Amino acid sequence: MDTKFETIIEERDNLKEILRDPLATWSFGETSLGLFCVLFVYLDLVLKILPAYMKDREPYKLKRLLTLYNAFQVAFSGYVVLLYAKYIYQHGIITTRCPKGDDLKAVISDIKPYFIAKHIDLLDTVFFILRKKTDQVSFLHIYHHSAMVAWTWYHYLYHPCDHFVVVGLINSLVHVALYAYYGLSSLGPEYSKYTWWKKHLTKVQLIQFMLVISNLYYQQKLTPCPIPAEFHYFCTFLIASFFCLFLNFYFRRYGNRKILEKINPESSLHTS
């Protein structure tokens, strides 16, 4: 009996050690509150404060600032691509090692740059408003940025894991191309001949979403340590909603042009 009792005590202590929070992750409530504060500031700034500020002002050029910003975004996204490519090379596209302790601390360290990147991305909206490019500040734009911030908050602060390494790599790779395009566009109309591939960016984004959904499905299905089902479905829903919204954007932007060109081939000369 004594041996059995000692075994139970030992197992209890081991369980306490496992459940102890050495990484100081946030609770769901704490994460949600912090996220709410960030999104409240962002939405209030871009939907009310900045539009009111710019109402009777001329648009800012911001040419030099945008050149530096986009160059930084390309470089930072490229860094994240290399960081996650190294991780995938070491542990595979479907990670099954269930990192704990120091291994998990290293994973959290790798998550941090992507977490930071999604907040830096919010400056896109600020710059659009300051330049009075209000057509760019669409529901899709606001929703996409807000949702990605939400994803990274729950991933980095509440449930850190290595399940989204492929997601981060694919998304960062797309951002290298996206900010390269933004950078060239910000240099002026004389550089428009170098941005002929603009419409293909949306196609790349749509392919990105399909690859990400596939990876989320198989990562959750094959891993010995799946993430909570509600978090998995939350992430899958976000990506599926992105796909639908971007597909709708693509057909509205480019579908009508193709129809117009079929009716009158010369009309392509007058569209941009």
H or E stretch covering 30: helix 28-44
* Conformational region of residue 154, where left means phi above 0, alpha means psi within -120 to 50, and beta covers everything else: alpha
Whether residue 81 contacts residue 179, with contact meaning beta carbons closer than 8 Å, is answered with no
Spatial CB neighbours of 204, under 8 Å, sequence gap ≥ 6: 174, 177
Whether residue 140 contacts residue 178, with contact meaning beta carbons closer than 8 Å, is answered with no
Question: For this structure, is 159 an active site residue?
Answer: no
Whether residue 237 contacts residue 244, with contact meaning beta carbons closer than 8 Å, is answered with no
Sign of the torsion angle spanned by Cα atoms 147, 90, 215, 247: positive
Buried b / exposed e along 146-170 (16+ C-beta atoms within 10 A) = bbbbbbbbbbbbbebbbbbbbbbbb
Catalytic residue among 91, 119, 141, 144: 144
Nearest to 88 by CA among 207, 210, 170, 204: 170
Active site residues: 144
